[in-house]
Amino acid sequence: MNQEISGLSSMATRPILTDLSEHIRHTRGTPVRFESAGGVEIARRVREGAEADLLVLAEGALAELEKEGHVLGGTARPLWVSQVVAAVPDGTPVPAFDSVSDLRAALLSAERIAYSTGPSGTALVGLITRLGLADTLSDRLVQAPAGVPAGSLLSSGRADLAFQQRSELMDLPGIVVVGPLPGDTEINSVFSGAVLASSVQPDRAREVLDVLGSDMASGIVRSRGMRALGHQG
């Protein structure tokens, strides 16, 4: 029987990797299993010597690990683009998000604004600063713990507006996804994959990585709220 290919990934890509791992097992007979956690936590584990074959993380975080020698040289590749969207609790008024003015109004009217750790959360804080609202909103921002969807703060009543990757919000109960940020406030994150230097089966891990970045995977990727690089929509 084929030895399992193991992987580590951030939470944003967990739904995609679950589906693709199952597809690879059915079509190729290769068992693949990813363990997912907050991106910061996964990077910490890799630095502390966690053993696995593959790594899927936000592009910048993976690049840093590659520089530090934790990634097998020449294997890192961008895979998917993820869009940050807004969400509100189900049953509450859904704000317009057609213009930057709409976004400003939604931010200013929210009592508590949930956002995530990782690149999307950092980008959102940067956007709020660029809009000149940092001081006004500083006491209203609520950062979800690492690995916890920001949308879960909506359903628990701890926030009334949330921003996170679409893939992490689209299947959460009790919330309504409003849509992407308008105009030049759009926030996109690129997720990349690589073979870890600790892999004991790097050639087979490369083969799985090729499938993750293939045209075949693009439909599964899209159904889970992201898009493959080079594909629109």
Q: pLDDT (tens digit, 0 to 9) for every residue of the chain, 233 residues total?
A: 479 999 999 988 999 999 999 999 999 999 999 999 988 899 999 999 999 999 999 999 999 999 999 999 999 999 999 999 999 999 999 999 999 999 999 999 999 999 988 788 899 999 999 999 999 999 999 999 877 889 999 989 999 999 998 888 888 899 999 988 999 999 998 999 999 999 999 999 999 999 999 988 999 999 998 999 865 44
Q: What is the pLDDT of residue 190?
A: 93
Q: What is the pLDDT of residue 233?
A: 47
Q: What is the pLDDT of residue 230?
A: 60
Report how far residue 46's alpha carbon sits from residue 72's, in angstroms, rounded to the nearest whole number: 13
Q: What is the pLDDT of residue 147?
A: 74
Q: pLDDT tens digits, residue range 111-134?
A: 999 998 878 889 999 999 999 999
Report how far residue 158's alpha carbon sits from residue 177's, in angstroms, rounded to the nearest whole number: 17
* Domains in the chain, CATH or no CATH each: 5-81+190-228 (3.40.190.10), 82-185 (3.40.190.10)
Supply 115's token pair: 């956002």
SS3 at position 190: strand
| Cα 179 from chain centroid (whole Å) | 16
Report how far residue 78's alpha carbon sits from residue 101's, in angstroms, rounded to the nearest whole number: 33
CA-nearest of 216, 114, 210 to 165 is 114
Number of other residues whose CB lies within 10 A of the CB of residue 145:
11
Report how far residue 223's alpha carbon sits from residue 219's, in angstroms, rounded to the nearest whole number: 6
Report how far residue 29's alpha carbon sits from residue 22's, in angstroms, rounded to the nearest whole number: 10
Q: What is the pLDDT of residue 231?
A: 53
CA geometry: angle 53, 228, 191, nearest 5 deg: 50
Residue 50: exposure state from Cβ atoms within 10 A (0-12, 13-18, ≥19): middle
